[in-house]
Amino acid sequence: MTASASVPRRADAIVVGGGPAGLSAALYLARYNREVLVFDNGRGRSTHHQKNRNYLGFPDGIATVGLRELARQQLSRYDRIHFVHHLIERVGGDGEQGFVAEAQGGHRWQGRVLVLATGVLDHFPHFPHWESYVGRSMFWCITCDGYENRGRNILVVGHTDAAAGEALQLHSLTDRVRLLTNSEFFDISPKFQKRLNNAGIPVVHDHIRSVEGEDGMMTAVITRGGERLDLDSLFSIQGATPETRLAQQLDVELAPSGWIRVDSEQKTNVPGVYAAGDVTSLHSHQVTAAVHEGAQAASAANYFLYPPELKAD
């Protein structure tokens, strides 16, 4: 694994994204003896303070940043993996002539195949130092963090049926759940309003003005209306936007939900372009799924690179 100063300008594969999906894809491609360029801007869900307890092999769990570090150590054994610390702004090309990735300053790299592992942008509530709470006392996923919050005082933030559904699901883990819309909109349907009422889950239609807490541990939310909502944990269900800008530059097809549409091999509709991880929403947004999708995308990309005489079809 080489530093960006000695990175080649051409490679077999370009991987955009340095989270679990992108790192998994790079590992598999290197093990197929392919030259790989990995573009990692150091952002995304795997850079939060969260601890992952769902990944097999770590009895006490592992911090997401720790998992990234271990993966980078693993990839460092392969001299055909090259990390590039540039934000890719444009991609172009096709499966016949190859693909070009461009960054600011006129920097360009070429690859024969392209793996998009660009992730999502989560819409967390914004207040001073909000980033320090993510993964410590502010979460987005019941699968990841619900178990550790059994019996705790939970505030769900969101104004849609999805937020109401999350509140109801969390109610199976604790009887201390409230919902704060944090929006001028109130898009919770009468059906879900009735379900919340039947479950005894109060709904506060107001915005977050400020929070109380320190060292990433939130203790209360103060609303614009002056209400103080004590809590142990906040679950943000305000949605996420898939990072599909590069995909759209290549006319990659998106699903109606906005995520990149892929098949079971992580192929997009554009030959030579693959997508993996949260940007596809093919599976639940989990590290286990991202690693699987990265491996699948790499295997399909490697097969695409074989000359015709090596293919069974």
Q: What pLDDT is attached to residue 212?
A: 98
In this predicted structure, the answer to whether residue 244 has a pLDDT above a threshold of 80 is yes
Q: How far apart are CA 42 and CA 23, in angstroms?
A: 12
Q: Which position has the token pair 């079809």?
A: 313
What are the structural domains, with CATH classification, of the chain? 4-121+241-310 (3.50.50.60), 124-236 (3.50.50.60)
In this predicted structure, the answer to whether residue 74 has a pLDDT above a threshold of 70 is yes
Instruction: With cut-offs at 50, 70 and 90, classify the pLDDT of residue 60.
Output: very high
Q: What pLDDT is attached to residue 312?
A: 87
The arithmetic mean of pLDDT across residues 164-186, rounded, is 98
Secondary structure class of 191 (helix, strand, coil): helix
Query: Helix 64-75 vs helix 20-31: angle between axes, to the nearest 10 degrees?
Result: 20
Q: How far apart are CA 82 and CA 109, in angstroms?
A: 12
**Cβ contact 99:113 at 8 Å:** yes
Query: Helix 161-170 vs helix 190-199: angle between axes, to the nearest 10 degrees?
Result: 20
What are the percentages of helix, strand and coil residues in the chain, rounded to 5?
30, 30, 40
In this predicted structure, the answer to whether residue 4 has a pLDDT above a threshold of 70 is no
Q: What pLDDT is attached to residue 283?
A: 64
**Cβ contact 157:182 at 8 Å:** yes
In this predicted structure, the answer to whether residue 124 has a pLDDT above a threshold of 70 is yes
Q: What pLDDT is attached to residue 48?
A: 85
In this predicted structure, the answer to whether residue 3 has a pLDDT above a threshold of 80 is no
